[in-house]
Chain A
Amino acid sequence: MVFKVPEKEKKFTTVSIPTPLFKKIQERIKDTGFTSVSSYVTYVLREIVAEEDEEEGEPFSKEDEERVKERLRALGYLG
Chain B
Amino acid sequence: MPKPHGGRLVNREVPEHKRERFLEQAGELPTLNITEGQAKDAENIAKGVFSPLEGFLLQEDYSNVLDEKRLSNDLPWTLPIILDVHNDLNVRIGDAITLSYKDRPLALMQVEEVYKYNKKEFAQKVYGTLDVRHPGVAKLRDMGDLLVGGKITLVREMETPFSKYNLRPVETRVLFKEKGWRTVVGFQTRNAPHLGHEYVQKTALTFVDGVFINPVIGRKKRGDFRDEVILEAYNVLIEHYYLKDRAVMSILPFEMRYAGPREAVFHAIVRKNFGCTHFIVGRDHAGVGDFYPPYAAQDIFDEFPDLGIIPLFFKTFYYCKKCGGVVNEKICPHGEEQHIKFSGTRIRELLRRGQRPPREMMRPEVVDVILRSGNPFVE
- Interfacial residues, chain A to chain B (CB-CB below 8 A): 1-4, 6, 9, 11, 33, 43-44, 46-47, 49-50, 53-54, 56, 58-60, 64-65, 68-69, 71-72, 75-78
Which residues of A have CB within 8 Å of B203? none
| Contact indicator A46/B115 (Cβ below 8 Å) | no
A2 and B93 contacting across the interface, CB-CB below 8 Å: yes
> Can you name 17 extra interface pairs (CB under 8 A) apart from A1-B114, A50-B305, A59-B3?
A1-B87, A2-B114, A3-B115, A4-B113, A4-B115, A47-B305, A49-B306, A50-B307, A53-B308, A54-B308, A58-B1, A59-B9, A60-B170, A68-B170, A68-B174, A71-B171, A75-B164
Using an 8 Å CB-CB cutoff, how does the interface string of B265-309 with A read, 1 for contact, 0 for none? 000000000000000000000000000000000000010111110
Residues of B within 8 A of A56 (CB): 3, 7
In the complex, residue of chain B having the shortest beta-carbon distance to the beta carbon of A55 = B3
Tell me if B240 is interfacial: C-beta within 8 Å of chain A.
Answer: no
B178 in contact with A69 (CB, 8 Å) = yes
CB distance from A65 to the nearest CB of B (A): 6
CB-CB < 8 A to A75: which residues of B? 164, 167
Q: A50-B308, A58-B1 are in contact. Are A78 and B178 (CB under 8 A)?
A: yes
B67, B92, B146, B175: which contacts A77 (Cβ < 8 A)? B175
Q: Is B173 located at the chain interface by the 8 A CB criterion?
A: yes
CB neighbours (8 Å) of A54 from chain B are 2-3, 308
Determine the interface band of chain B, counting residues with CB < 8 A from chain A: 35 or more
Q: Which of chain B's residues has its CB closest to A9's CB?
A: B60
Contacting B306 at CB < 8 Å: which of A2, A3, A11, A47? A47
Nearest-Cβ distance from residue A58 to partner chain B, whole angstroms: 7
A-B contacts, 9 listed (Cβ < 8 Å): A1-B89, A1-B91, A3-B116, A6-B115, A46-B74, A50-B305, A59-B4, A64-B170, A72-B167
B59 with A6: CB separation less than 8 A: yes
B68 near A: Cβ within 8 Å? yes
Tell yes or no: B345 within 8 A of A by CB.
no
Inside 8 A of B7's CB, which chain A residues have their CB? 53, 56
Q: Which of B3, B4, B64, B90 contacts A1, CB < 8 Å?
A: B90
- How many Å lie between the Cα of A43 and that of B306 in the bound state? 8
**What separation, in Å, do the CA atoms of A68 and B178 have in the docked complex?**
11
Nearest residue (CB) in B for A71 is: B171
Number of A-B contacts (CB under 8 A): 76
Taking the closest CB of chain B, its distance from the CB of A38, in whole angstroms, is 13
Binary A-proximity of B152-186 (CB < 8 A = 1, otherwise 0):
00000000000010010011011100100000000
Please give, as numbers and ranges, the residues of chain B lying within 8 Å of A76 by CB-CB distance: 164
Which chain B residues in 86-108 approach chain A with CB under 8 Å?
Answer: 87, 89-93
Interchain nearest-CB distance for B62 vs A (Å): 10
Q: Determine whether the beta carbon of B170 is less than 8 Å from that of A11.
A: no
Contact call A72/B174, Cβ cutoff below 8 A? yes
Cβ-based interface call for B8 (8 A): yes
B179 to chain A, nearest CB (A): 8
| Residues of chain B within 8 A of A58, CB atoms compared | 1
State A72–B353 Cα separation when bound (angstroms): 40
Determine if A77 and B93 form an interchain contact, defined as CB atoms under 8 angstroms apart.
no
Neighbouring A residues of B4 by C-beta, 8 Å? 59
Cβ-based interface call for B248 (8 A): yes
- The answer to whether A77 and B1 have CB atoms under 8 Å apart is no
Residue in chain A with minimal CB distance to B1: A58
CB distance from A13 to the nearest CB of B (A): 12
Q: Which residue of A lies closest to B178 (CB)?
A: A78
Query: Are A53 and B175 in touch, CB under 8 angstroms?
Result: no
Give the chain A neighbours of B74 by CB distance below 8 A. 46
Q: Quick one: which of A1, A49, A56, A58 has the most chain B CB within 10 A?
A: A1
**Which chain B residues lie closer than 8 Å to A77 at the CB level?**
167, 175, 248
